[in-house]
Amino acid sequence: MDFQKETIERVQKLATADLLRADKSTMAHGLEARVPFLDKAFLNLAIKIKPEEKQPATYGGVEKYILRKAFDTPEKPYLPESVLWRQKEQFSDGVGYNWIDKLIAYGSARVTDQEMEKAAELFPHNTPATKEAYFYRTIFHKHFPQASAAKTVRKWIPKWQENQDPSGRANTAHVKADPTIATVKAEV
pLDDT digits (tens, 9 = 90+) for 122-140: 999 889 888 988 998 999 9
Task: Yes or no: say if 181 and 97 are a contact pair by the CB < 8 Å rule.
Answer: yes
Residues 39 and 7 in one domain: yes
- Decide if pLDDT at 172 tops 70: no
- State how far the alpha carbon of 153 is from the alpha carbons of 12, 30, 128, 129, 136, in Å: 16, 23, 12, 15, 12
* The last residue of a domain, from among 27, 60, 93: 93
- Decide if pLDDT at 175 tops 50: yes
Distance CA(150)–CA(154), nearest Å, equals 9
* The last residue of a domain, from among 61, 93, 125: 93
Residues 122 and 58 in one domain: no
Total domains, the chain: 2
Residues 40 and 61 in one domain: yes
Residues 178 and 112 in one domain: yes
Distance CA(73)–CA(71), nearest Å, equals 6
Domain that holds residue 13: 2-93
* The last residue of a domain, from among 47, 72, 93: 93
- Decide if pLDDT at 159 tops 70: no
Residues 59 and 120 in one domain: no
